[in-house]
């Protein structure tokens, strides 16, 4: 059964950061679909994916085998265009007690969002084989810098990375180091950082902080590292230099936020 995984902030989801999986299987003229929220643990070969609750299921009777094949092919193409990544491994159903599932773990961190600029255009230009190789080098470079600055990788989003840091200065240093490292690959990235609280419950990282971090990154141009005023205020004694980037309305976020650009 082909499986696809999407990790990222839903445009209409102000409340949190949700991972979803989608599966398709064909038997004769019938197509079986399954989808729902998932929890992603780890990264790379050690990544594990769990359904956070029973997934939704649907059976489509297509009448003929050919129609079923066409339906499945079109469904897969649509999901790929929605930035799902192929998922080779299994999706397990994690059994939790009702009491444990209801628990929320609170955390405070500096959140880093890295995104490749014009990634779809570059992938189309290079072709699947070359792009896969470039992405392998890209993630290796990102993880090297995360390790050296004690950042914690939370999820990858197809062509981006979300990570957290205990110290905002570490997050900023990691962002600038990643920016320099990926230039050798011919890639331009935009980076956003925000500091705030979030909650972890089941497969969801819930909190406006993730949404704000993503919106900060979206305001950055190619080669820029932008931080929110929350990050800047926590670094009053730091030697890192910032330039005022003005006050912005972040889509879906209450109030207006002053952003700052990290200076080389």
| CATH code of the domain covering residue 115 | 3.30.70.1230
Domain match, 44 and 125 both: no
Residue 99 lies in a domain: no
What pLDDT, on the 0 to 100 scale, is given for residue 105?
Answer: 64
- pTM higher than 0.75: no
CA atoms within 13 A on the CB side of 108: 5
Domain with 8, as residue range(s), is 1-91
**Domain count of the chain?**
2
For residue 36, CA distances in Å to 22, 86, 166 come to 7, 15, 31
Q: How many CB atoms lie within 10 A of CB 16?
A: 18
**Which residues of the chain fall short of a pLDDT of 70?**
1, 8-18, 43-45, 80-82, 94-106, 157-158, 200-206
Q: What is the DSSP letter of 64?
A: S
Which residues, 6 or more positions from 211, have their beta carbon under 8 angstroms from its beta carbon? 9, 13, 14, 15, 16, 17, 252, 253
Domain match, 11 and 32 both: yes
Residue 55 lies in a domain: yes
Residue 98 lies in a domain: no
End position of a domain, from candidates 91, 116, 133: 91
Domain match, 87 and 114 both: no
Can you read off the two tokens belonging to residue 241? 């230099």
Domain match, 228 and 252 both: yes
How far apart are the C-alpha atoms of 258 and 264, rounded to whole Å?
A: 20
């Amino acid at each position: 059964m082909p499986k696809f995984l999407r990790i990222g902030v839903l445009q209409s989801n102000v409340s949190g950061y949700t991972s979803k999986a989608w599966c398709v299987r064909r038997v004769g003229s019938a197509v079986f679909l399954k989808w729902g929220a998932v929890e992603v643990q780890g990264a790379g070969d050690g990544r594990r994916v769990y359904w956070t609750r029973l997934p939704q299921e649907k059976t489509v009777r297509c009448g003929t085998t050919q129609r079923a094949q066409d339906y499945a092919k079109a469904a897969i193409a649509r999901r790929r265009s929605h930035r799902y990544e192929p998922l080779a491994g299994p999706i397990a159903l994690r059994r939790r007690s009702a009491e444990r599932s209801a628990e929320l773990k609170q955390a405070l961190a500096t959140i880093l969002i890295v995104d490749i600029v014009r990634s779809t255009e570059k992938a189309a230009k290079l072709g699947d084989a070359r792009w896969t190789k470039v992405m392998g080098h890209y993630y290796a470079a990102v993880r090297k810098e995360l390790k050296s600055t004690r950042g914690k990788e939370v999820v990858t989003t197809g062509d981006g990375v979300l990570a957290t840091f205990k110290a905002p200065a570490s997050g900023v240093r990691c962002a600038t180091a990643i920016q320099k490292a990926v230039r050798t690959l011919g890639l331009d990235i935009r980076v956003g950082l925000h500091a705030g609280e979030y909650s972890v419950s089941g497969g969801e990282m819930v909190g406006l902080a993730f949404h704000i971090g993503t919106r900060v990154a979206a305001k950055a141009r190619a080669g820029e590292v932008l931080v929110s005023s929350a990050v800047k205020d926590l670094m009053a004694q730091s030697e890192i230099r910032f330039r005022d980037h003005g006050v912005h309305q972040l889509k879906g976020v209450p109030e207006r936020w002053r952003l700052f650009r990290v200076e080389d």
